Chains A and B, each alone.
Chain A
Amino acid sequence: MSRRIAFVGSCQVSGMAAACRAVSQQRGHDWQVEAYHIGAPLNEREIFRLIQGFDVVISQVNISDKPNAILQADSLRGHVGQCVYMPVFVFTGLHPDMTYVFIQDMVWNGAQSPMHSLLSLACYLLDLPARRAASLFNAYVFAEIGYFSAYEASYAVMVSDFDAAGYDLRGMPERWMETSGPFMYTINHPSISVLSHMAVLALARAGLIAGGYNAPDGVDDYLHQHLVAPVFPELARRIGFSGSHEYLRPLQFGTDRTVSLLEYVQESYADFRGVDRSLLASSPVVHVRDRLSVLLNQAVPRLSARPALSLPSAP
């Protein structure tokens, strides 16, 4: 059975397309599968032109995404055979420390990634040395700045978003965790097990495979080549695995990818120094900065004691 299938949307489309090709191969089909990541490099209009006449288009473009409205499922009707909406998979619960910084409405890219560490940003704005900043990546600080509630909250949001789109992902994070550990590399870079599952769901929605089809194994996990942020042990323990403090640099910087937390904070500080401080103070950063400031101050003033007995001078 020959079909032309396109995946359109975020950086996640390559993984879904790769999984789709694996399904095609498994089932002996002759599917022609393309992935179009909007803006990298083609823009929405160029993609729109290229996918004309495709049998199935799986689009991640949300109804509220006005600039890319032309690629929304509704807009594509009549231009392609069939269009299926699949939300972008975002899950902050494993990496609540990650954030984007927007400068003049544009994502500000650091040397290695467009994502940055909230705590590092907050500590930088408080003029704390990098070493001190790294030492504050601990359970008490995480609790105080809300990182521990992120998993449950993120889980609920993810389930609700996919529910609204007609996909039931309840229980899937546990299953992914069981089979391959942390299922996110950053807040919006899922591992291939997630993307494969999403691809299979979309293909089933399009009627190309039966519901309940197993996601293929052995698909190239290309997002792993980009920055991989650790799930900190303090968070990981609460979900049932050990976690780590080590980041993996993007592969393009060399095969020796491991970076310690301290090195990561130091490198982040180097990035921050190149930017006007006021531009770094986004609302989430300010929230963490202010909370941290209170914590740092409250630990010390509590220690000041009432006047007490003075000591006799030494004989």
Chain B
Amino acid sequence: MISNPYGIKPDISFWKKSVALPAMNDVDPVVRAKVRIVSDSSIATAGSCFAQHIARTLVKQGQRYLIIEDAPAFEFCDDENYGTFSARYGNIYTVRQLLQLFYRAYNLFEPVVGVWQRADGRFIDPFRPQIQSGGYGTPEQLAQDREAHLAAVRLVFETCDVFVFTLGLTEGWLSNEDGAVYPLAPGVVSPYVSRDQYRFQNFNFAEVEADLELFFENFRKVNPSVKVILTVSPVPLIATYTDEHVLTATAYSKAVLRAVAGSVSERHDYVDYFPSFEMITGAHTRGRFYEEDLREVNAEGVAYVMSKFSHHYLSDAVQLCQPVANAAISEEDFRRQRAVLETLQKVICEEIAIENSL
């Protein structure tokens, strides 16, 4: 007798039962969480714009969200973008950017070009060009702030228990001199960088995977017990520099990132993949989790994703969701958390700058 091998599979294996029929918000593609965040776990975040939503939720839920760089280190620093992520690195879109951040933080890679000048004469950091809207008055100020920033990055890497990284893009801009990767094409923010100084690259699967593997290998050397949760941003490309349609370029980019996340998380027991991408882009949503621009994820979508994240990863989420006023915390803690939350409300997104500069 030939039996149907799918006969023993659970409901989650069937599209109709687990995607088509359930109410949109009941679709839960997380089958098993490899990483459990307990209440005293120190959680760091990094990645593209969407990662900021995760950071905000962690703070709201009273989790121990790690913010090393939480206030200006110098008088010339504007109080801007502190607490958005665990350090003030801004959005990290590509894995190569993350890998280079690691090498820069540990002083093994010192890019040849360390400063750009804007049309208004102010100076900006090529590796976080939007971090301070007013820029810096001098290259020396920038260098000083960057040194403090990279020290904070090292502490993030070394002291977090869980690192949540959101993979954002495969398209990037590289220095022709040393391969340094920028989050933005220099021409978008600086008229003084000659076009022959940098080039475009759309990283392929092999490159993204190799970079991510190398990053993890390095990361575990400075933090052997760290756990990682990978997500893929569901936010489409605002523009592509390839010759493809932005829709297919987006599909390519997300497919590569999703495949790498799957491949790497399968390989390592300390890496988990959280399917926020599928939750927002899946057919069950009928596109309802996007704003009018069909790009930004709306509040409902974020709430849906984060409720599943809390359910599967935050073991103490229920207790920690109690109103803050009832919790036994000091006023100072309360004020600090409030300030953090307020900062996190201000989503920064370099990609927007591309459109604004045209």
Q: Do A and B bind each other?
A: yes
Q: Which residues of A contact B (CB under 8 A)?
A: 132, 135-136, 138-141, 143-144, 234, 237, 295-296, 299-300, 302-306, 308-314
The number of chain B residues with a CB under 8 A from chain A is: 33
In Å, the complex CA distance between A302 and B217 comes to 14
Q: Please, which residues of chain B bring their CB within 8 A of the CB of A314? A: 195
User: Nearest Cβ in chain B — how far from A299, in angstroms?
Assistant: 4
Please determine whether A309 and B242 come into contact, CB atoms closer than 8 angstroms.
Answer: yes
Per the 8 Å Cβ criterion, residues 192-245 of B in contact with A are 195-196, 198-202, 207, 214, 218, 221-222, 241-242
Please determine whether A308 and B222 come into contact, CB atoms closer than 8 angstroms.
Answer: no
Q: Please, which residues of chain A bring their CB within 8 A of the CB of B157? A: 139
Q: Which residues of B contact A (CB under 8 A)?
A: 96, 99-100, 102-103, 105-109, 154, 157-159, 174, 178-181, 195-196, 198-202, 207, 214, 218, 221-222, 241-242
Q: Known contacts A237-B158, A304-B179: does B199 contact A299 (CB below 8 Å)?
A: no
Q: Please, which residues of chain A bring their CB within 8 A of the CB of B218? A: 140
In Å, the complex CA distance between A311 and B108 comes to 29
Please determine whether B222 and A143 come into contact, CB atoms closer than 8 angstroms.
Answer: yes
Q: Which has the most chain B C-beta neighbours within 10 Å: A304, A311, A312?
A: A311
Q: Please, which residues of chain B bring their CB within 8 A of the CB of A139? A: 106, 154, 157-158, 221-222
Listed A/B pairs (25) with beta-carbon separation below 8 Å: A132-B107, A138-B105, A138-B107, A139-B106, A140-B106, A140-B108, A140-B222, A141-B106, A143-B221, A143-B222, A237-B159, A300-B179, A302-B214, A303-B179, A303-B180, A304-B179, A305-B174, A305-B179, A305-B201, A306-B201, A308-B174, A309-B201, A309-B242, A312-B195, A314-B195
Q: Known contacts A237-B158, A309-B242: does B221 contact A303 (CB below 8 Å)?
A: no
User: Nearest Cβ in chain A — how far from B2, in angstroms?
Assistant: 49
The answer, among B107, B200, B222, for a CB contact under 8 Å with A136, is: B107
In Å, the complex CA distance between A295 and B106 comes to 11
Q: Please, which residues of chain A bring their CB within 8 A of the CB of B181? A: 303
Q: Please, which residues of chain B bring their CB within 8 A of the CB of A237? A: 158-159
Given contacts A140-B222, A141-B106, A300-B109, 8 further A-B contacts (CB under 8 A): A138-B105, A138-B106, A144-B221, A234-B222, A237-B158, A300-B179, A302-B99, A306-B207
In Å, the complex CA distance between A311 and B96 comes to 20
Q: Please, which residues of chain B bring their CB within 8 A of the CB of A311? A: 195-196, 198-200
In Å, the complex CA distance between A254 and B222 comes to 37
In Å, the complex CA distance between A305 and B178 comes to 9
Please determine whether B178 and A300 come into contact, CB atoms closer than 8 angstroms.
Answer: yes
User: Nearest Cβ in chain B — how far from A292, in angstroms?
Assistant: 9
Report the tally of A-B residue pairs with Cβ distances under 8 A: 74
Q: Known contacts A140-B218, A144-B221, A300-B109: does B199 contact A309 (CB below 8 Å)?
A: yes
Please determine whether B178 and A303 come into contact, CB atoms closer than 8 angstroms.
Answer: yes
Q: Please, which residues of chain B bring their CB within 8 A of the CB of A310? A: 199
Please determine whether A138 and B154 come into contact, CB atoms closer than 8 angstroms.
Answer: yes
Please determine whether A234 and B158 come into contact, CB atoms closer than 8 angstroms.
Answer: yes
In Å, the complex CA distance between A144 and B242 comes to 39
Q: Please, which residues of chain A bring their CB within 8 A of the CB of B196? A: 311
CB nearest neighbor in B for A144: B221
Q: Please, which residues of chain B bring their CB within 8 A of the CB of A234? A: 158, 222
Please determine whether B200 and A308 come into contact, CB atoms closer than 8 angstroms.
Answer: yes
User: Nearest Cβ in chain A — how far from B44, in angstroms?
Assistant: 15
CB nearest neighbor in B for A309: B200
In Å, the complex CA distance between A305 and B103 comes to 16
CB nearest neighbor in A for B159: A237
Please determine whether A299 and B108 come into contact, CB atoms closer than 8 angstroms.
Answer: yes
In Å, the complex CA distance between A310 and B243 comes to 12
In Å, the complex CA distance between A141 and B103 comes to 11
Please determine whether B195 and A313 come into contact, CB atoms closer than 8 angstroms.
Answer: yes
Please determine whether A295 and B108 come into contact, CB atoms closer than 8 angstroms.
Answer: yes
Q: Please, which residues of chain B bring their CB within 8 A of the CB of A136? A: 106-108
In Å, the complex CA distance between A309 and B106 comes to 30
In Å, the complex CA distance between A141 and B174 comes to 26
In Å, the complex CA distance between A141 and B222 comes to 9
Please determine whether A299 and B109 come into contact, CB atoms closer than 8 angstroms.
Answer: yes
The answer, among A143, A296, A302, A309, for a CB contact under 8 Å with B241, is: A309
In Å, the complex CA distance between A134 and B331 comes to 40
CB nearest neighbor in B for A303: B179
In Å, the complex CA distance between A237 and B218 comes to 18
CB nearest neighbor in B for A134: B107
User: Nearest Cβ in chain B — how far from A133, in angstroms?
Assistant: 10
8 tightest CB-CB pairs across the interface, nearest first?
A: A303-B179, A143-B221, A299-B108, A140-B106, A135-B107, A308-B201, A139-B222, A299-B103
In Å, the complex CA distance between A310 and B174 comes to 11
Q: Please, which residues of chain A bring their CB within 8 A of the CB of B109? A: 299-300, 303
Q: Please, which residues of chain A bring their CB within 8 A of the CB of B200? A: 308-309, 311
In Å, the complex CA distance between A132 and B106 comes to 11
Please determine whether A140 and B221 come into contact, CB atoms closer than 8 angstroms.
Answer: yes
CB nearest neighbor in B for A137: B107
User: Nearest Cβ in chain B — how far from A53, in angstroms?
Assistant: 56
CB nearest neighbor in A for B198: A311
Q: Please, which residues of chain B bring their CB within 8 A of the CB of A309? A: 199-202, 241-242
User: Nearest Cβ in chain A — how far from B328, in angstroms?
Assistant: 26
User: Nearest Cβ in chain B — how far from A296, in angstroms?
Assistant: 6
User: Nearest Cβ in chain B — how far from A313, in angstroms?
Assistant: 7
In Å, the complex CA distance between A132 and B108 comes to 9
Q: Please, which residues of chain A bring their CB within 8 A of the CB of B103? A: 299
CB nearest neighbor in A for B221: A143
CB nearest neighbor in B for A295: B108
CB nearest neighbor in B for A132: B107
Q: Please, which residues of chain B bring their CB within 8 A of the CB of A303? A: 96, 100, 109, 178-181
In Å, the complex CA distance between A144 and B181 comes to 25
Q: Known contacts A308-B200, A310-B199, A314-B195: does B108 contact A296 (CB below 8 Å)?
A: yes
In Å, the complex CA distance between A303 and B199 comes to 13
CB nearest neighbor in A for B196: A311
Q: Please, which residues of chain A bring their CB within 8 A of the CB of B154? A: 138-139
In Å, the complex CA distance between A304 and B99 comes to 13
User: Nearest Cβ in chain A — how far from B349, in angstroms?
Assistant: 23
User: Nearest Cβ in chain A — how far from B74, in angstroms?
Assistant: 19
